[in-house]
Amino acid sequence: MASKKAFGVLWILLSAWICAGKISGRGRSCGFPAIYNFGDSNSDTGGKSAAMWEIVPPNGETFFGKPSGRFCNGRIVLDIIAERLGLPYLSPYLDSIGTNFRHGANFATGGSSILPGGYSPFDLDIQIGQFMQFKSRTSALYKRLRTLLPLQNILPRPRDFSKALYTFDIGQNDLNYGFQYTNETQVLASIPGLITKFSQAVSQLYNEGARFFWVHNTGPLGCLPYNVIYDQSKLNDLDRHGCVANQNKAAQEFNRQLKDKVFRLKAQLPNSAFTYVDVYSAKYKLISDASNYGFEDPHKFCCGGYYGFQVNCGAKAVVNGTVYENLCTDPSRYISWDGIHYSQAANLFISKLILNGSLSTPPNSLAEACQNPQKL
């Protein structure tokens, strides 16, 4: 009798598992073996810290317990994507110590832009070039694998490059730099060139075997606290949620053209699978209804400060005997960590909105991002 009951329980569990698989998705789960990411500080897991200067405490304190190369008190959206796929957090390509690339690599660096110039030397072209070198050298090493057995555990398998997920979160710095040094008209005029360069980068990856692309649009630039604080002239151009209207208008136009280009690429590149992710809407939803989600004023930030001059997160300034610094007591109640980047709590909220596919086109969840017309 006991064995029959055990069998019955097992059958119920098995049936539930099968049904859940059929109901929860429109197709097979991807099982991506790796992630290759390209972007700016929104998805940097230590590239800028490795290449330029170390990110200091209290960055990283909430989750990692120490600085982790992220401009955040904890995890960023890319970390949560990796968790959802059952993969380890991505090592930055530029880091030479303690790196493991078995399940992908991160080419994003803080300040990066699509076009050369701006805040960082690591523009998208450079990041694509780094990937191509990484792939080439990995393949060459695998040909000598018998004498390099320890590398098996830290290098990706060559066959995994065509099965990996390629993620993008870039463009914010191009727009921000434009607003800082030019004007709205020039920023809007620059967008077609940005989209063309982005398209060329994707095509290069496709020619290297990439097939699965997860593309984040850019967030509401005008809602970043520093973009309101630094230029008081913008206060006459605020929307009803306190965001700089013309900057958000430019971000929305960038996103419109990006979305159009993504679907043109899908039509042009056989057997490719693109998911366009509306991060803008997720972030703006949080900012526009912050109090109902348990957050403070979205234009306040937790770490760093502005007292007529900027005090960066983790730094102090002493003027006439007064110590200027700022660190909130409860980062989980802040949307903005440092005036530019989002807190871990905000990243968790944003991830919840975007990873289930409700803000994606096509409406694929992360687990369904591999849906394509033919088997590779």
Q: Which member of 44, 49, 338, 365 is catalytic? A: 338
Please name the helix (run of DSSP H) or strand (run of DSSP E) that holds residue 214, with its range, or none. strand 212-216
Q: Which member of 299, 341, 351, 360 is catalytic? A: 341
Q: Which member of 40, 41, 113, 174 is catalytic? A: 41
Burial of 2 (0-12, 13-18, 19+ CB in 10 A): exposed
Determine contact, residues 364/358, Cβ cutoff 8 Å: no
**What six digits make up the tokens of 359?**
């803000």
Active site residue 41: yes
Residue with tokens 């590149």: 269
Determine contact, residues 205/131, Cβ cutoff 8 Å: yes
Enter the DSSP assignment of 82: H
Active site residue 338: yes
Determine contact, residues 57/314, Cβ cutoff 8 Å: yes
Helices (H) and strands (E) in the chain, counts: 10, 10
Q: Read off the amino acid at residue 173.
A: N
- Positions annotated as catalytic residues are 41, 338, 341
